Structure 1
Amino acid sequence: MNKIISILTVAGCMVVLTSNSWCQASKIATQLIKKMPSSSALDILGNRFTAGAAAAKTQAYIERTARMVTMQHSPVALNRSEFNTFIAHRITPTPISSLRVRLVAPSLEQTQKSVQEYMNFFTDFRAMRQEVDPVLGNALLERTDLLETMHPSQLGYYTGLVHSINLRSKKLQKTLFPTDPALAEAETYLNFAESKFNKFYTPDITPKGSVVRPFVEEEFWMEYDWHKPVRDGTLTALPENVHMAVLNDTEDILNMYKLWEKQGRFPEGWKVSTYYDTMNLLNAVKSGQKFDLIISDINVPGGGGRYCVHCLREMGIETPVIGCSGYTRDKIDSKELHDIGFDGYMYSDDMFEEDAGFSTWKSHVGNYYYYKRIGGWPR
């Protein structure tokens, strides 16, 4: 039985490594098979692992991984379901020609950068699996709990290794490739691996640095129940000397903001800069331009509001960003926007087509500052 487990171990390693040394791995497997009765060795290999999906990077790696598996349990005791689902399963990235980037009217440069980020992720993901799979596979074969048997320093190392890749997976799904099946498979694997190493693991980790407060729907939609007590007016007042950037691809809306500025509707010292393209705004920020508030549409050329906020938070920019578009509450995932890094959202329909529109806009933005002040939000 010990030799049978050796065969399973070698085959399990082959599914997670590159194809350069397939012949080497085959020789190792063949040698092991020759040393044991011919009863069902080949059948075991054929039944447990898909032909053609295995690969080997180096003979030394395979032999080292095989030695890591303790040979004290019969095949009947193997945790077949999780082993086959996570360790023996090879995740194939989506071909470049079939990738669909979640950007609005992206430039060639943006598309190339997004695809490269996707490819880099799977390169690092494969490298991580070469290090993590033997440890997880050993624990599954032995039916042991790593949280109880592994030293805390080792748990910390593997937790950090998996968690860093997991964060990248979630960011890619939320900002660039939300419907990609390979990324979904990768995140499923990463969540499983992290749960085995981290006793404090919780699912659906949000992007690092994007969330600064818990999600409360009323606050995020910048609404206020007028049945509640009257508020102190100083808490709802718009601050002075604000440089506001507006990102929107509708010229009439951009013109309306500039008209409001010209008419002096904003408080003292307000300045409005308008942008039609996402990259123009991002380039302004990269060149050193500082804003105190950003109002962003969701679908905008050059990437869109989601991509814009993602890039700003990646750069460490903590300027408040408020979404403003024609999507109603039932047409948009406000929790997703919050997790990406938006600080609020308001429905823009008819807001810019009449004089009363400014009062509506001011009321919503005033509510944002009210919640920020009473909640002590950092942005």
Structure 2
Amino acid sequence: MRIASVLENQNIEKRIAITPEIAKKYKALGLEITIAEKYGEHLGFKDSDYKELGVEVSNNNEILNTADIIVQLGLLSDENLSNLKENQTLVGAFNPYTNKEKIENLSKKNINIFSLEMLPRITRAQSMDILSSQANLAGYKAVIESFSNFEKAIPMMMTAAGTIPAAKVLVVGAGVAGLQAIATAKRMGAIVFATDVRITSKEQVESLGGKFLSIEGSENLETESGYAKEASDEFKKKQEDLLAETLKKIDIVICTALIPGKKAPLIIKGPMIENMQSGSVIYDLAAAQGGNSEFTEVDKIIIKNGVKIMGEKNILNKLSVSASNLYSKNVFNFVSNLYDKENKKININLEDEIIEKTLIK
């Protein structure tokens, strides 16, 4: 069996799915490995680093024609997709909601497609959970980026010339990215507030030293899978009123709220931004899905009423080495579960919840 990976579009995605460390693990499983030329060079991984481990380096056509398992970050380009053949297995994060037509065409060719953002929230799947590993890094980096664009000190500083008050940070959405943002901002000396539609988040926020903004009499808007679901109009109105008042005293807002498969909910609206202090910063991690903040534009800094509104399509490109290390480990753990080492073949056991949930039929 041969596992392979080709380079992503470098203008969009700098992460890779097989690092040298993980290549060793695939070899130990008994898999042959092929990668594209200069596959990890931009991250400091030379072709020679891979070759020393017994990895073959080849061109895309050869790779895609001979691979049994292809591991990627996102869906391959149209040209590369056309080179795939029957009974190959694709593993990655393929966003089946927006790539529905392409995925249907692949399914017609009897190509097995496993999209890891569909993993069930169960204990056995935690080591494969790409959403958690990548969101953790994104939450951390969003704080660093927003702080670097905030033109005041973050921690309280007492000097002979006077006292600088600590910056006040609001984290919107207390999932994995939000919780890491709270922890990072708190470590750097900020006063941190957080809000989330899931009441269960309150305890987690407070355990990290944040102050949870709760709406009186609100219902718990959490799915059985642990994700947030859409709020009712009544809840949204109460949330808006609370946010509008809170934002008047906030210096930095980190937006992380997403609903799987849907446009990001618009939470920070124009009138709220107008009442924020000039010099404040909004960092919108949901930018690629429409943004939680009004006026958010992908890969731009928009200034409204003195407030900087920032959004990036892929913040993880700024942490591509760390992100690749974690992602490649997640993918390896998934492939290990999928691969029958004894019989040296892929075992699509639909009684395994991990395989059944991630296989796109």
TM-score, normalising length: structure 1? 0.22
TM-score, normalising length: structure 2? 0.23
Instruction: Compare the two structures and name the one with the higher strand fraction.
Output: 2
Q: Which has the larger radius of gyration?
A: 1
